[in-house]
Chains A and B, each alone.
Chain A
Amino acid sequence: MPVAVEIADAAADENIFAAVFDHFTYIDEKFSTYKPESEMMRINRGELPERDWSDDMRIIYMLSEETKQRTGGFFDIRRPDGTVDPSGIVKGWAIWNAAKIIEKAGFGNFYVDAGGDIQTHGLNAEGPAGAKWSIGIKNPFNQKEVVKTVYVSGEGVATSGTYLRGEHIYNPKDGRPANEIVSLTVIGPNIYEADRFATAAFAMGAAGIRFIEQLPGLEGYMIDRDGTATMTTGFEKYIKI
């Protein structure tokens, strides 16, 4: 998964990019379920009592619990096999924090893209949209194509789907894969909100788009396995340049 950071401001130098990648490295070292010595894996193996958890780990658990409650249990970092995989909450949180690092460094026009989940900020004066950042929603049936373009400035855009390596999001209620829809893109006030609710709504299947519809500040574009897209009532304000 590529991590991309683009800063449109002329003053951007290597230092800010290094800071952002240091941040992601820190996140990876702590929360990775692929690194045996990460704090997350030590917890999963029962080696780290709760009293010894880091503050960031506690925050992630807390945010996960809050998200679980807000989504009626459809968001859960606990996997069917009993282990904890926090990436559903960590990813959006980490991207959003990366954006904050850049903003605090004084930059106003940039985006952070981690594997297709995006936090935008400010404008892209040289972009094809001429102002806002343009984001294409990938065709779930042909990854080289874009089926919709949205224009955002400051929002976060996240897509949950099945098409990279098959089904991967489970309905925590019954442990079965959610597969009625193949792609759900959510635009939110920031990537943290967009990502966590995209993940949860995707697990709801076809009802997910209605869940997004009811959440203030979030809009969605859902594509089902027949190639039909369903959008929330406010979505179209993002398709205008």
Chain B
Amino acid sequence: MKKYAAYVLSAVVVAAFIVYWLVSRPDQANMAANAGAPAGNAGTTGASGTPGGTPAPAPTTTPTPAAAGNGYKDGTYTGPVADAIYGQLQVAVTVSGGKITDVSWPVYPDSGGHTLQVSQSALPALKQEAIAAQSAKVDIVSGATQTSQAFQQSLAAALAQAQA
């Protein structure tokens, strides 16, 4: 039974992770590495948020690359309807053969279309300025890379250098 609960939790955590992202706000951002939600009360209904209420601090273990072989128990797991930024959200995860085979959103806020629609409409002007070079001494520089390609291509080389 304990093992079963662990499997359920694994699947629920996946669903909860998505819910977490939709509800995360800056003042909750420090929970990023708060791994290891209590595993004892996985329950059978999923427990990532309170329906219609403030989502619980969601489990945050999922994004860590999983070791191979931590299969899930077959079935479909539906999380509770949670209050996301743009409305109500519900996640369902289907597991087949120990693998996640489908993730769906039975309830999903109308974020995309609505948001983009709003973005085209009249809004207060945002502050603008002409860019100018600074002589700032900084710790790190943020700039664009070939995001969709250069990352992997150069990563190996960078790692080789880093480990030389």
Known: A62-B14, A139-B131. A158 touches B155 (CB 8 A): no
Interface membership of A207, Cβ < 8 A: yes
Known: A136-B142, A233-B126. A87 touches B33 (CB 8 A): no
- 10 shortest A-B CB distances, which residue pairs? A161-B144, A189-B29, A138-B143, A72-B112, A136-B138, A32-B152, A115-B145, A1-B154, A217-B26, A103-B33
CB distance from B72 to the nearest CB of A (A): 8
Point out residues on B near A: beta carbons under 8 Å.
14, 18, 21-22, 24-26, 28-30, 32-33, 35, 62-66, 68, 70, 85, 96-97, 99-101, 103, 105, 108, 111-113, 115-116, 118-120, 123, 126-134, 136-156, 158-159, 161-163
Interface membership of A51, Cβ < 8 A: yes
Contacts of A213 in B (CB 8 A): 123, 126
Contacts of A90 in B (CB 8 A): 151
Q: List 29 A-B contacts (CB under 8 A).
A: A1-B155, A2-B158, A25-B159, A28-B152, A28-B155, A55-B99, A69-B112, A71-B112, A72-B113, A87-B148, A91-B151, A96-B32, A103-B32, A115-B151, A116-B143, A127-B139, A134-B137, A136-B134, A138-B142, A138-B143, A146-B141, A147-B131, A148-B131, A154-B29, A154-B30, A199-B147, A210-B118, A217-B24, A232-B126
Interface string of A200-225 (1 = CB under 8 A from B): 00001001011101111100000100
Contact A62 B29 (CB under 8 A): no
CB distance from A172 to the nearest CB of B (A): 12
Q: How far is the CA of A74 from the CA of B116 in the complex (A)?
A: 10
Q: Which A residues between 131 and 169 are near B, CB-CB below 8 angstroms?
A: 133-140, 142-143, 145-149, 154-155, 157-165, 168-169
Interface string of A1-26 (1 = CB under 8 A from B): 11110100000000001100101111
Contact A128 B101 (CB under 8 A): no
Contact B151 A1 (CB under 8 A): yes
Contacts of B21 in A (CB 8 A): 66, 193
Contact A159 B112 (CB under 8 A): no
Contact B28 A189 (CB under 8 A): yes
Q: How far is the CA of A100 from the CA of B36 in the complex (A)?
A: 12
A97, A104, A207, A227: the one contacting B119 at CB < 8 Å is A207
- The chain B residue with its CB closest to the CB of A38 is B152
A71, A142, A165, A204: the one contacting B146 at CB < 8 Å is A165
Q: How far is the CA of A140 from the CA of B143 in the complex (A)?
A: 8
CB distance from A110 to the nearest CB of B (A): 11
Q: How far is the CA of A147 from the CA of B118 in the complex (A)?
A: 30
CB distance from B123 to the nearest CB of A (A): 6
Q: How far is the CA of A136 from the CA of B133 in the complex (A)?
A: 10
A58, A93, A124, A159: the one contacting B100 at CB < 8 Å is A58
Contact A158 B101 (CB under 8 A): no
Known: A21-B159, A51-B99, A146-B134. A72 touches B142 (CB 8 A): no
Contacts of B120 in A (CB 8 A): 207
Q: How far is the CA of A55 from the CA of B71 in the complex (A)?
A: 8
Contacts of B144 in A (CB 8 A): 116, 138, 140, 159-164, 183
Contacts of A3 in B (CB 8 A): 155, 158-159, 162
Contacts of A136 in B (CB 8 A): 134, 136, 138, 140-142
Q: How far is the CA of A71 from the CA of B21 in the complex (A)?
A: 13
Known: A1-B150, A88-B147, A116-B144. A149 touches B25 (CB 8 A): no
CB distance from B57 to the nearest CB of A (A): 13
CB distance from A147 to the nearest CB of B (A): 4
